[in-house]
Structure 1
Amino acid sequence: MARDPETIERDIEKAREALAATLDELGTKANPKRFADSAKTSLRARFEDPKVKYPLIGAGVLIGVLLVRKLFR
C-alpha cells in the first residue's frame, strides 16, 4: 500500500525532531565541563570519608617528618 507524500514528509519531520532532541541530550551529557565537575565532586566526597582522609593526613605527616629529618642530617 503506497503512502501519500504528506504523510511521509510528516514522518520525516518527526524523525528529524527526535534526532535533534537526542543529539542535544548527548551534547549535554558529553560536556567536558560536566565531566570535570562530576569528577571533582566525586573526589571531594571520597576525601571527606574518614577511612581515606586520616590515612592520607598520616602519610603526609610521615613524608614531612622524613624530609625534615633528611634535611637536618
Structure 2
Amino acid sequence: MTEKVQGPASYFPAMEKKYGRPIGEWQEAVRARRAEQPGAKHMELVAWLKTEHGMGHGHANALVAHTLAQG
C-alpha cells in the first residue's frame, strides 16, 4: 500500500498543475535565487515567488520549506 504524501510535498501535484512547471524546476529557481542573494531568508524567498511568479502564499511557503530542508 502506498503511503499518503504529507507535509509540504503534499502541495506539489497541485502546484505543477497550476503553475505549469515541474517541482524540480521550481526548486532550482529557489536555489538560484538563494545563490544570487546568499543571505535570503525563508520569507524573502516566499515573497519573491509570490510577487515574481504569482504563487499563492501556501504554495510558495511549502516549496521554500521543502527546498531549504533538502539543503
Query: Is TM > 0.5 for Structure 1 vs Structure 2?
Result: no
Higher helix share: 1
TM-score (structure 1 length as normaliser): 0.27
Structure index of larger Rg: 1
TM-score (structure 2 length as normaliser): 0.27
